[in-house]
Amino acid sequence: MTYSELKTAIANYLNRSDLTSDIDTFIDNTEAELNRRLRTKDMIKRATATADSQYLTVPTDWLEAINVEITANNFSPLFQQSIESLDVYRKANNNSTGQPIYYAMVDDSIELAPTPDSSYTLQLTYYAKISALSDSNTSNFVSASHPDVYLYGALKHASIYLMEDERIPMFTQQFEKALEEMRLEQEKSAFGKGSLMMRRRTYGKKQKRNYYYGN
């Protein structure tokens, strides 16, 4: 379903012709909710960045870290810590510099510890925001594969806006059902088929071994 088709469907369900500008807001609110609640395989992205100071700005579509790794020496994972833990580490090590070992999220930045003593290339694996629908971006993975998530999400927010209390539970139930079906499908396709293998998967935290199905 394209952006234009989605707006038409929402207007038809609401049986209203005076909500053209408001429908954009209903869609925006749905996307905001999806970005808060969804973490699926189609939201995973990778980017490289150069780290040569204590702070590194994350990509503009960043939602949540999965892995942060130094690309040199066959990839060295960094371990995610709290800001307070980094402060304790710096004090214990006299604020020394070196190859980063730890990181913490600080607003829209990654704080590294120790502070890099030279330039390092990082690979960032993260959950990215869903590409927002617009007149110039008419489709994304949600609208293409699960248009009912957008439709019922927008109708739920529309009912709240219109104070149609009797319709809010109905559209909320349909939205939650569509969202859960999408999650299950994404989880299933994330593993696929194949032989059982061993793979280190750190997700930016303590290293551990996990089984996954791959080729």
Q: What is the pLDDT of residue 196?
A: 44
DSSP, collapsed to helix, strand or coil, labels residue 18 as coil
d(CA 57, CA 51): 9
What is the mean predicted confidence (pLDDT) over 126-132?
A: 98
Per the omega criterion (within 30 degrees of 0), is the bond before 114 cis? Answer: yes
Tens-digit pLDDT profile for residues 145-174 = 999 999 999 999 999 999 999 999 999 999
What is the mean predicted confidence (pLDDT) over 93-115?
A: 96
pTM of the model: 0.84
Rounded to the nearest integer, the mean pLDDT of the chain is 89
Long-range contacts of 21-27 (CB under 8 A, 24+ apart): 22/158, 22/161, 23/154, 23/158, 25/157, 25/161, 26/154, 26/155, 26/157, 26/158, 26/161, 27/3, 27/133, 27/150, 27/154
- Per-domain residue ranges of the chain: 3-38+131-190, 43-128
Which has the closest alpha carbon to 31: 21, 19, 43, 41? 43
Q: What is the pLDDT of residue 73?
A: 80
